[in-house]
């Protein structure tokens, strides 16, 4: 800040005080309800717990328990489901979303209509989305009726009760829910690319598929970066759709269990037959997830930052 600018501001100390006064309400609320619980959660993972009471310091005991059978089985099961979810979303939602955005980019007419339709499910509560699809996919539901009518399937449709299928059905529903977001981000990104770049490629004889891979993709790195990072954060926080459609146990037989549903059961008492809480284990799991999310996000952003082409 230059001196000239400073002179026209209110006097120095009172300016600091005024600024502090303005920031204080937000800082208090944010500090009390976000930063404080987050920090005490990380710290608390190093203690022994009984119910909601924090007992003695226990070092990394909770972490050791988390990585020992039978907890480790749940942990790695849920972790694998989250990883599968992320790659499923990258492929079905963001890959297909890129294709939709590219098609919209070339059809000037109606683009905003399609964008609005595609984005609509994203403003719905996951509760509505989950409940709606649970009814549609139930035995006797619309999907069964249509598949039987088309001759693609016979008899009762039970995909949500099938441990081989349920996870992939949930991933598809999540993609249905959020497809509009990559479409919007990618069309916005495509529109920032100068039209002449495409014209030049066209003159060189590139077809629209080759233009997508050789011209658009390298220039879309910032958009790909934000879409990937958002998907990473959202999939590893996945809870709502699983809870509404498959219950907090991630039925059937934990085949749709995610890290956050596992965390919820440990923290609020729905784990095991008796449903008691295990706060120490929950906080250790929460801390691991916190580290995974922060390190993962930073690595993703850095990798994409390096790959960004300066036009």
Query: 9 vs 73, which CB is nearer to another protein?
Result: 9
| Positions 269 through 298 that interact with another protein (CB under 8 A) | 279, 282-283, 286-287, 289-290, 293-294, 297
The least distance separating another protein from the CB of residue 22, rounded to whole angstroms, comes to 5
Is 46 a binding residue for another protein by CB under 8 A? The answer is no
Q: Residue 52, interface with another protein (CB under 8 A)?
A: yes
Count of residues that interact with another protein, criterion CB under 8 A: 95
Among 65, 134, 161, 249, binds another protein (CB under 8 A): 134
Q: Which is nearer to another protein, 42 or 217 (CB)?
A: 42
- Within residues 154-213, the interface with another protein by CB under 8 A covers 176, 179-181, 184-185, 187-188
Q: Taking CB under 8 A as the rule, which mask of x and - marks residues 104-133 in contact with another protein? A: x-xx----x-xxxxxxxxxxxxxxx--xxx
Q: Please spell the DSSP secondary structure of the chain, one letter per residue.
A: --HHHHHHSSPHHHHHHHHHHHHHHHHHHHIIIIIHHHHHHHHHTTEEEETTEEEEE-TTHHHHHHTSTTHHHHHHHHHHHHHHHHHHIIIIIIIHHHHHHHHHHH--TTHHHHHHHHHGGGGS-HHHHHHHHHHHHSTTSHHHHHHHHHTS--S---GGG-TTTHHHHHHHHHHHHHTHHHHHHHHHHHHHS-HHHHHHHHHTT--HHHIIIIIIHHHTHHHHHHHHHHHHHHHHT--HHHHHHHTTTTSSTTTT--HHHHHHHHHHT-BTTTTB--HHHHHHHHHHHHHHHHHHHHHHHHHHHHH----
Which residues, 231 to 260, sit near another protein by CB under 8 A?
233-234, 236-237, 239-240, 243-244, 260
**Which residues, 56 to 85, sit near another protein by CB under 8 A?**
none
Closer to another protein at the Cβ: 134 or 153? 134
């Amino acid at each position: 800040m230059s001196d000239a600018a400073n002179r026209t501001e209110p006097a120095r100390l009172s300016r600091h005080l005024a600024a502090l006064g303005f920031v204080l309400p937000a800082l208090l609320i944010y500090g009390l309800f976000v930063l404080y619980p987050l920090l005490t959660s990380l710290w608390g993972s190093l203690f022994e717990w009984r119910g909601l009471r924090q007992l003695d310091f226990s070092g990394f005991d909770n972490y050791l328990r988390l990585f020992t059978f039978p907890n480790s089985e749940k942990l790695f099961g849920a972790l694998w489901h989250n990883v599968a979810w992320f790659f499923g979303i990258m492929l079905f939602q963001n890959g297909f979303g890129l294709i939709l955005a590219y098609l919209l980019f070339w059809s000037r007419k109606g683009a905003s209509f399609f964008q609005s339709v595609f984005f609509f499910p994203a403003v719905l509560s996951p509760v509505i989305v989950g409940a709606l699809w649970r009814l549609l996919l139930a035995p006797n539901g619309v999907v069964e009726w249509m598949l039987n009518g088309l001759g693609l399937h016979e008899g009762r449709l039970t995909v949500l009760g099938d441990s081989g299928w349920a996870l992939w059905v949930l991933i598809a529903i999540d993609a249905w829910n959020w497809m509009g977001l990559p479409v919007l981000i990618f069309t916005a990104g495509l529109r920032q690319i100068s039209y002449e770049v495409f014209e030049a490629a066209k003159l060189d004889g590139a077809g629209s598929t080759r233009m997508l891979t050789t011209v658009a993709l390298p220039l879309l790195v910032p958009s790909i970066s934000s879409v990937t990072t958002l998907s990473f954060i959202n999939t590893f926080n996945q809870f709502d759709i699983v809870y509404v459609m498959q219950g907090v146990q991630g039925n059937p037989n934990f085949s749709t269990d995610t890290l956050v549903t596992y965390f919820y059961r440990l923290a609020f008492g729905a784990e095991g037959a008796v449903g008691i809480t295990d706060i120490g284990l929950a906080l250790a799991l929460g801390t691991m997830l916190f580290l995974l999310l922060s390190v993962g996000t930073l690595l993703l952003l850095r990798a994409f930052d390096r790959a960004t082409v300066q036009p």
